[in-house]
Amino acid sequence: MRALLVTYVFPPVGGAGVGRTLKLAKYLPDHGVRPAVLTAANPSVPVFDESLLRDVAPDLEILRARTLEPGYALKQATWDGHKASGDGGGARGNGVPLHRRAIGRLGGLARAALVPDPQILWQPHAHLVLGRRLLGPSRDDVVFISGPPFSQFLLAPLARARPGTAVVLDYRDEWVTYRTTYEMMGRAAAAIGPALERSLLRAAHAVTTATEAFRARLLADFPFLDPDRVHAIPNGYDPDDFPGQAPEPPADRFVLTYAGTVFRLTSARGLIGALRRLHRDDPELARLLEVRFIGRVVETEADAFDGSEELGVVRLGYLEKGEVARQLAGSHMVLCLLDDVPGCERIYPGKIFELMYLGRPCLTLAPPGALADLVAAHRLGPVVPPRDEAAIAAALAGALRAFRDGRYRATADATGIERYHRRALAGRFAEVFRGALARARG
């Protein structure tokens, strides 16, 4: 079976969204599927990670289509100017320079026009490349399209136009949450999104989602979907990403590490408030704690970190994946964040599976829902509401006292995690592909 994996982000692009399709390309051949990839030639993204290329097989066929988007720095400046101008929630004209107000208006117009997301500007060339592929001699049995960005779902009708080609749409995130929670989404995307999503789902022979809760919401919102064609396949871990010998955490301080982007959905405001409380109530104990943040902190969350260095917070910025694994493995406890925002009860960050495999106790700050249930089911560590500063401070104080007194165990008693190995998950995707292909060919 031949499968074309369509994804806007693929190495050397870095970040959390890359792993699902990258690991599929790596492990599908173990299950009788020969993958190829269609991706962006010049993606407008915040981070790159050349180290991820080690998972790309030398013989993997990669098609690259150019996007008309500007570079990410310009997109970010336009978005920042949009907020500062008042259109994005700031005080209109309140000391904002004229050029920034002009950039802000431009940003507002762009967000209104680029529906369902800014990556729509990738679609003209992506459609051309896919069209040539469909008409050429390299016949793909399955076209698998993984979002976000969800504008690439627009490729589904084109892929389906070739008889006998199966189309599988993959939801790494929910489209409904993406268009209402992520900072760069405009009002038009929220308004038009449901109708557009409905029409594109009709082009799919099968649908995959990253959580069972995503699947349930999708079936509730779009009753025409056949439940037998909608499959929940989670993200997972790959042992190849981790050091063979885990480094020992330091003996002179307690290290808590978070890896991932900090944005509205993964806000650290509750945690930082708890650190302030801990330093106020028991400064001697609090001085034992070092909290490391690896990854980007988006501009809308940056103010929460003001003065946090005095609380033992260390921001390391974006690191390549292997170094992230070493930093996490060399910690006494790891951290998973999910703020209490609409739709969060159906979400768990993909990083949670890598934290499972590490075997360090995991402090999870999350509301009741899919993530809290997953952590509890596999006994990964304590779960605390993300904005309950008193409860977070108490959880940290308990770990710090155990560390001070020599009673702390830097290992978790995680159970039942083997099902999340990326190789096993690729086998589940292969079965979905075969079912979709059977439907496509009648």
pLDDT at 75: 67
State what percent of residues in the chain have pLDDT above 90: 77
Examine domains 2-70+107-236+421-440 and 239-418 and report if their fold is the same. Answer: yes
CATH number corresponding to 2-70+107-236+421-440: 3.40.50.2000
pLDDT at 176: 83
**Per-residue pLDDT at 219 exceeds 50:** yes
pLDDT at 14: 92
**Per-residue pLDDT at 436 exceeds 80:** yes
Q: Which residue has the tokens 């792993």?
A: 19
Strand partners, 289: 254
**Per-residue pLDDT at 306 exceeds 90:** yes
pLDDT higher for 90 or 211? 211
* CATH superfamily label, 239-418: Glycogen Phosphorylase B; (3.40.50.2000)
- In sign, the C-alpha dihedral spanning 411, 412, 413, 418 is negative
The whole model's pTM is what? 0.87
pLDDT higher for 269 or 112? 269
Mean pLDDT of the chain: 90
Burial (Cβ within 10 Å: 0-12, 13-18, ≥19) of residue 304: middle
The structural domains of the chain, with segments of one domain joined by +, span: 2-70+107-236+421-440, 239-418
What is the arithmetic mean of pLDDT over 210-225?
Answer: 95
**Band of pLDDT at residue 187, cut at 50, 70 and 90:** low
**Per-residue pLDDT at 320 exceeds 50:** yes
What is the arithmetic mean of pLDDT over 21-48?
Answer: 97
pLDDT at 188: 58
pLDDT at 430: 98
pLDDT at 92: 46
pLDDT at 88: 46
Q: What is the pLDDT of residues 84-130, one digit of tens each?
A: 555 444 444 455 566 555 555 555 555 556 778 889 999 999 999 99
pLDDT at 183: 46
Helix (H), strand (E), coil (C) string for 42-103: CCCCCCECHHHHHHCCCCCEEEEECCCCCCHHHHHHHHHHHHHCCCCCCCCCCCCCHHHHHH
| Cα–Cα distance for residue pair 40/9, rounded to 1 Å | 7
**Per-residue pLDDT at 311 exceeds 50:** yes
Task: Say which residues have a Cβ less than 8 Å from residue 73's Cβ, sequence separation at least 6.
Answer: none
| Cα–Cα distance for residue pair 212/218, rounded to 1 Å | 10
Show the tokens assigned to 434. 């075969």
Show the tokens assigned to 288. 């034992």
pLDDT higher for 95 or 26? 26
Strand partners, 208: 170, 231
Show the tokens assigned to 379. 């006994």
pLDDT at 395: 98
**Per-residue pLDDT at 74 exceeds 90:** no
